[in-house]
Amino acid sequence: MKTLQKYLLTEFLKLFFPISLFLILIFASSEFFWRLPDFLHFKPHLRIILYYLSTLIPLWFVQTLPITVMLSSLITINNFMYTKELISIQTLGVNLKKFFISWLIVGLLISISAFLINDKLATKGFLISQKIFNEKIKNQPSQIEDLKDLFYYDDINSCFVFIKEYNNKSFEAKNIIIEKYDNQNNLNKQIISPYAKKYEKILILENCIIREFKDNKFLKEKSVLRYEYPLLIGIEEFQYDYSSLQLDFLNLKELKNILKTLKLRGQNSARILSEISFRYSIAFLNFILILLSLSLGQNIYSQYGKFTSFIYTILALIIYWVLLSFLRTLGELNIINPIISVWIPNILFFIIGVFLYVRYV
């Protein structure tokens, strides 16, 4: 039985990698022709164009993974139905429900891998690609000289830092507020300064007012001429304008830091919560598609033929995406719970997949 399982999984992988490569090439071609006017205008070296496209490969791999998994699974199952090999396996007394558990394990591993690749590689690659496009292709600086409305949450010191204006040439900052919180997210200390200057990794605040709090209630305040605050990252790396911030290049840790910041400031965090939940749910889709493909590929093929099984599965995927997009929008608008909203399609299709697997495999 293990030999047969390895044989079927090998056939699955033989299709998986070529299909994935083909879809990635489609995405690369689409990106190339979309950026072609910029390439022709700025005339970057071919090496830079290829480097730019290569940084997006992890993102394209993750984005095309659901359709890759679906096509690989369906084609493999349909081929074995066509050659009667699955029927031969059943005549040997093999229980197909137990036989395909190895496929479900592979689906789970693919889902975990998709999440890790997206969080560790795709987000970083997307950020690098934007820098290459701006700095190497368009010859524009990725940062402007004057930055405004900067936010940063220092999770080590439990501090929230707000800078109204910062010049990354003179390293001068204006209107700085630093707030320190306790473990219960109660405000302990607030430092307010009209002017500061960065020296290496130290922010020197001048003419400060230091206010002390207990259980979010004001206790006392004092004035100091100088206050030093250590910076864990450069001020240029602070985030700003979270409402319109592009989230594709942020990993899970960065999203959670933004979430802490928004909660501490009492701002709407539905969009960030929805994005975090979406990262997990979309990875789990790969497992669900294998679950659906195993049952639809066998049952519908035996009744209606090969192409009908493809139509049913693709139709299910379209319904999933429409439902996911609709519910995700409702979650981001905080109409329904942003954490639960993106999981509803997964729960629904998982229940359908389990039912079909138990009934027809």
pLDDT in tens, 282-305: 999 999 999 888 877 666 544 555
- What would the mean pLDDT of 248-260 be, rounded to a whole number? 83
Amino acid 361: pLDDT: 67
CB 274, CB 331: distance < 8 Å? yes
- What would the mean pLDDT of 49-64 be, rounded to a whole number? 96
CB 24, CB 61: distance < 8 Å? yes
For domain 157-231, say whether CATH 3.40.50.720 is its number: no
Report domain extents, the chain.
2-139+272-360, 157-231
Q: Is the pLDDT of residue 267 over 50?
A: yes
CB 290, CB 76: distance < 8 Å? no
- What would the mean pLDDT of 172-194 be, rounded to a whole number? 91
| For the chain, percent of residues with pLDDT exceeding 70 | 91
Query: Which residues, listed in sequence order, are joined to residue 212 by a DSSP beta bridge?
Result: 189, 220
* Cα–Cα nearest to 147, from 229, 241, 230: 241
Phi-psi bin for 175: left (phi > 0), alpha (psi -120 to 50), beta?
left
Identify the residue with better confidence: 96 or 186.
186
Q: How many other β-carbons are positioned within 10 Å of the β-carbon of residue 321? A: 12
CB 78, CB 46: distance < 8 Å? no
Phi-psi bin for 160: left (phi > 0), alpha (psi -120 to 50), beta?
beta
How far apart are alpha carbons 323 and 308 in whole angstroms?
22
Amino acid 224: pLDDT: 95
**List of residues 6+ apart from 228 with CB closer than 8 A:** 202, 203, 204, 205
Q: SS3 of 177, please?
A: strand
Identify the residue with better confidence: 307 or 331.
331
Average pLDDT over the chain, rounded to an integer: 86
Q: Which two tokens stand for residue 361?
A: 């495999």
* Cα–Cα nearest to 9, from 103, 111, 108: 103
Q: SS3 of 210, please?
A: strand
